[in-house]
Structure 1
Amino acid sequence: MNMIDRIEHWGDTHHPAYMDALRVVLGVLLFGKGISFISDTGNLTKLLHSLNIDLWSVMAVHYVAFSHIFGGFLIAIGCYTRTASIFQIPILLVAVFFVNIRAGFSYLNSELWLSMLTLVLVITFSIIGSGRYSTDEWMRKHDR
């Protein structure tokens, strides 16, 4: 049994029920953030240009929007939660350390705190998985 299998087994056996509700809230939050990126791509492109990623800005905008919308939906229903969470980690690392930290590390910078909390939750769900009340668990029980 390799390290990843041991982490998955530990996550599957140590999963309290309230984490499922937290997973749904996280998925809805990411889905809503993806919708807001799609509705205001000009602001996101301007933000990425300020980070000097001009060549990749269009691709990065699409990656962020698609990952948040599709990944948020998958996390909310509990389907491939670990994979969807892993795809969110690079986006949130950039959001925390390069984008939102520029406004300062104060309690007034709510986007920084939201990004940090989301990053911690995404890392948590990439370790512990989707839980009892999820599509993954339903598919595991009804496997034919």
Structure 2
Amino acid sequence: MNVIERIEHWGDTHHPRWLDVLRIALGIVIFLKGVTFLADTESLRQLIEQTPVQIYTWGIVHYIAFAHLVGGILIALGLLTRVAVGFQLPVLIGAVFLVNITRGLSFLNSELWISLVVLVLLLVFFVIGSGPYSLDHQMREKRA
């Protein structure tokens, strides 16, 4: 077994069921954040333009909204969880290190702390996977 298969096996065998509730809640939060981004794409564009990195703004706005909408649903359902998390990681890394950190590291910067918590949870689910209450698990059981 290579390293990735060993990590997946460890994650599948050491997955408490309460983490599935946390995964579902995380997926719903990410989906709802995507809905708010779609509702106000102009403020998201302005937020991205304030970053020190000058990039194709509208492309990034659409990537963030699409990644949050589709990724949030996939994470909540537990379908292709690691792939969905993989698409979320660049967004959250950018949110933490490019957007929110420029506002300062204070306890009043709630967006930074929310982004940090979501980033840590995404990393956790990237390692441990989707768990027993997921569509991934049910599809694996049907194949076996």
TM-score (norm 1): 0.96
* Secondary structure of the structure 1 residue equivalent to 2:27: helix
- 1:78-128 Cα offsets, whole Å, 9 max, x none, are 000011011111110110011111221111111000000000000000100
Q: Which residue of 1 aligns with 2:25?
A: 25
Residues 1:44 and 2:44 are matched in the alignment? yes
For structure 1, the 5+ residue unaligned runs are none
Q: Which residue of 1 aligns with 2:9?
A: 9
1:54 CA drift (Å): 5.0
State how 1:130-141 maps to structure 2 within 5 Å: 130-141=130-141
Q: Which residue of 2 aligns with 1:76?
A: 76
For structure 2, the 5+ residue unaligned runs are none
Q: Which residue of 2 aligns with 1:113?
A: 113
Q: Distance in 2 between matches of 1:55 and 1:76?
A: 30
8 A Cα contact 1:86 1:123, kept in partner: no
1:52 CA drift (Å): 5.2
Question: How many pairs align?
Answer: 144
Q: Distance in 1 between matches of 2:91 and 2:26?
A: 15
* Secondary structure of the structure 2 residue equivalent to 1:108: coil
- CA RMSD in angstroms comes to 1.3
1:143 CA drift (Å): 2.6
Residues 1:34 and 2:40 are matched in the alignment? no
Runs of 4+ in 1 over 4 A off after TM superposition: 52-55
Q: Distance in 1 between matches of 2:87 and 2:51?
A: 21
- Percent identity between the two aligned chains: 51
Q: Distance in 1 between matches of 2:50 and 2:131?
A: 39
Q: Which one-letter code corresponds to 1:38 in the other structure?
A: L
Q: Which one-letter code corresponds to 2:30 in the other structure?
A: L
Q: Which one-letter code corresponds to 2:88 in the other structure?
A: Q
1:53 CA drift (Å): 5.0
